[in-house]
Structure 1
């Protein structure tokens, strides 16, 4: 049976509200923000070894990042499917999603490791600026392979807990592993406590130890809360293979959406490099803020999607669904105000935050403000629509909106703006806003049609 601490209660008359979204979203948001910060911490720890070590870690992390991104993409799909299963109250469905999702995540991780083993060495040789960087990068990547396997398990278990409304457990696992990662990395990088100094490879060792602790904690909590699922007989489909195929069919459009977004962002970043030095520096500075700010709205939308999936799995009536979505949407507007306020503070305090930079760079950064103040609102509303439609199983339509908006508009428009028309950076950044405006009618028209409210979670 589902975990006892559910996100929503069957005894409520009016159904869940934005308060329920907040309870689910804040641990997910905090974990995501800390995760972004961990990348900065790892780079800081290795930076003491010099530019060569830092370049080696950056190169290895970029290669491993493709595999980790794939794992994360499929875990997002598992999160929605788990919420559907949790809503039905069917332990066979819940067990099937957990087993199929974890198997798929491990398969993605292993395929990624095979690809790294086959092509990673030659890729590093081609990209690395020196043989020393290549050697250090290979050593780091060899140890980091353990992290990939750990993340494959950890992300699937985190998706299970999030889908069941237990979003604090993945946050607790991360708060447990983060200090372990920092302390063990420092010790192993520099060779403290009588241990050898492993240099940049020590950072990978610290990450491997930390993810091992994180996974152990998640397995322990899974056994305590849902260990009874081991004894549930049968599968959602005729057998496990058919169950796995069904889970893969559900997951592929969602995963493809995340792959496309990541790849499109990388391509656009490469194009930004053709801007003037000051403009590219300003784009580089604002990108992490947009990413962190976007995390707030995205996690709110994902939490909304989880609860929608639970409600659909439970077979709630349309009035409950409408009331909840209206409340969640108002909450998304508040989240957008918070994000816009953060952007405002960053731009107004640029002379303090980035005092060492050229005045022209800070002027470009301040010039981004009009776009940044508007961007969170259509982006947040589109995210609510997308996650709601995904929760109802309308994953292919959502995929098409994202993929075509990225590859028929944002990427070619960015290339034309930068490479051909040589427009100012503010207009290049505004393409992010125009992309959201382009997606807006397609998302909202589909949502307001209301078919998602009549979806039946039967497969």
Structure 2
């Protein structure tokens, strides 16, 4: 492999197409599926231990998700910033993006880990449906905290490489770490090969070992791909501190958007813990599947945003941007249809996949099907709008729209449905679909106005 970032097709043609989005998106999609797939596998392996163990891992994952969501949020902001820098071809800009992004990501990881160690146990005790679930969740979370530090470094490096067109490298890192996670988890959950049977905690140990392997590989590849930036003198601003502050100023609205999404999702997950054990188990099972299959449309939208950022950095005209976005949008519709088919297969296979669980729990999963067949389409189209607007720097509008939809609709609606009206689990899940419908007109109107096409990235 080369020792410098690979130039994307968008840099050498007047109008990239959906094929160029696919070139970027497929490695990121497989990586994201592997990432969410690990949660699915953990849930599948733990499901053999019963609903109590499954509820414990769902509760612990919801709490850890707050911090992992914050890390992912700032990594997404860095990815956009790096794509803009790559579009300009400015090596100082690239160096500034990776250095500032890494400093912020590590700081967020450390703060989050300390917060979990101090506050995780009381939150679990307050929300767990039983003392046994609380104990298992605390044990899992205490070990899983080590994953957070690894993710702070790994997500940052992956975002830099994705923005520079090296999307296969983060995928390779998952190809190494996922098998390690699966094998170690199986062995330690059930106590094979003479090792102790750790149950839920065994899944956490598997994740720790796997993330260590992943980060080691990513650091090695970053040195190969971007090592030449160490020879570049200076920063985008007069000093690193000022460069860091400028990067943070750009990143905050984007990070706030992703962080709000992650926090609102985890708050809803904690509210789900107040449902019956079977309903909560069903939501714990289907949530990773929604996330995993949803990465097909989401990564397509992120790849679209990367190319838009590069095109704006190259100061391409409106006609080029319009042709590219039209082609990318057609691909997004196909991606959404693929997601719907995958979710259909999951729901129809629930009795086979989760035969160890009760009939009631499996029945809830099957009942989710009508919602899951519709959800990918508005969600995918909104994602295209959001990532395109972010790439142009229109980050405040995107942030406000997401935050209002999440905190003025989704979270309160979920709380009312579960805690006050005690609605069924299917109606609770449908709130996610109504949230996408709520955002749809505001997103698409903003994009059609076309102001994003006149953004001055070089400024």
1:246 is matched with which residue?
A: 246
1:294 is matched with which residue?
A: 294
Separation in 1 of the partners of 2:140 and 2:88? 44
The CA deviation at 1:156 is: 0.4
Separation in 2 of the partners of 1:389 and 1:208? 36
Q: 1:364 to 1:255 in 2, by over 3 A?
A: same
Secondary structure, in 3 states, of the residue corresponding to 2:11?
A: coil
Gaps of at least 5 residues in structure 1 are none
The CA deviation at 1:120 is: 4.2
2:6 is matched with which residue?
A: 5
1:177 is matched with which residue?
A: 177
Contact 1:344–1:369 (8 Å) recurs in 2: yes
Secondary structure, in 3 states, of the residue corresponding to 1:235?
A: coil
The CA deviation at 1:370 is: 3.9
2:322 is matched with which residue?
A: 322
Separation in 2 of the partners of 1:50 and 1:126? 22
Contact 1:106–1:153 (8 Å) recurs in 2: yes
Deviation readout 1:117-167 (Å, 9 max, x if unpaired): 444455566667659975x76666555443222211111000000111111
Task: Report matched runs for 1:133-172 at 5 Å.
Answer: 134=135, 141=141, 143-172=143-172
Separation in 1 of the partners of 2:54 and 2:276? 26
Separation in 2 of the partners of 1:423 and 1:57? 24
How many residues are treated as equivalent by the alignment? 457
36-45 or 238-247, larger mean C-alpha shift: 36-45
Task: Report matched runs for 1:282-361 at 5 Å.
Answer: 283=283, 285-348=285-348
Q: 1:421 to 1:25 in 2, by over 3 A?
A: same
Separation in 2 of the partners of 1:220 and 1:120? 33
Contact 2:10–2:310 (8 Å) recurs in 1: no
The CA deviation at 1:265 is: 2.6
Q: 1:177 to 1:119 in 2, by over 3 A?
A: same
387-396 or 349-358, larger mean C-alpha shift: 349-358
Separation in 1 of the partners of 2:457 and 2:31? 29
1:377 is matched with which residue?
A: 377
1:103 is matched with which residue?
A: 103
Secondary structure, in 3 states, of the residue corresponding to 1:324?
A: helix
Superposition TM-score, scaled by structure 2 size: 0.86
1:405 is matched with which residue?
A: 405
Separation in 1 of the partners of 2:359 and 2:44? 26
Contact 1:2–1:164 (8 Å) recurs in 2: no
Contact 1:125–1:131 (8 Å) recurs in 2: no
333-342 or 361-370, larger mean C-alpha shift: 361-370
Separation in 2 of the partners of 1:71 and 1:203? 21
Contact 1:344–1:373 (8 Å) recurs in 2: yes
Separation in 2 of the partners of 1:406 and 1:261? 7
Separation in 1 of the partners of 2:407 and 2:116? 27
203-212 or 319-328, larger mean C-alpha shift: 203-212
The CA deviation at 1:342 is: 2.5
Deviation readout 1:338-364 (Å, 9 max, x if unpaired): 122233444555566567877777666
Secondary structure, in 3 states, of the residue corresponding to 1:312?
A: helix
Query: C-alpha root-mean-square deviation of aligned residues, in Å?
Result: 3.6
Separation in 1 of the partners of 2:200 and 2:306? 39
Task: Report matched runs for 1:363-442 at 5 Å.
Answer: 368-417=368-417, 426-442=426-442
The CA deviation at 1:74 is: 1.0
Q: 1:318 to 1:118 in 2, by over 3 A?
A: same
The CA deviation at 1:396 is: 1.1
The CA deviation at 1:320 is: 1.1
Secondary structure, in 3 states, of the residue corresponding to 1:234?
A: coil
Q: 1:123 to 1:218 in 2, by over 3 A?
A: same
Separation in 2 of the partners of 1:50 and 1:400? 41
Deviation readout 1:32-68 (Å, 9 max, x if unpaired): 1111221243456667889998777666554433222
Task: Report matched runs for 1:108-147 at 5 Å.
Answer: 108-120=108-120, 134=135, 141=141, 143-147=143-147
The CA deviation at 1:7 is: 2.1
Separation in 1 of the partners of 2:45 and 2:11? 49
Task: Report matched runs for 1:189-204 at 5 Å.
Answer: 203-204=203-204
Separation in 2 of the partners of 1:141 and 1:424? 29
Contact 1:55–1:133 (8 Å) recurs in 2: no
385-394 or 338-347, larger mean C-alpha shift: 338-347
Q: 1:277 to 1:170 in 2, by over 3 A?
A: closer
Secondary structure, in 3 states, of the residue corresponding to 1:457?
A: coil
Task: Report matched runs for 1:30-45 at 5 Å.
Answer: 30-42=30-42
424-433 or 211-220, larger mean C-alpha shift: 424-433
Higher-Rg structure is: 1
Separation in 1 of the partners of 2:133 and 2:287? 30
Q: 1:361 to 1:104 in 2, by over 3 A?
A: closer
Q: 1:279 to 1:194 in 2, by over 3 A?
A: closer
Gaps of at least 5 residues in structure 2 are none
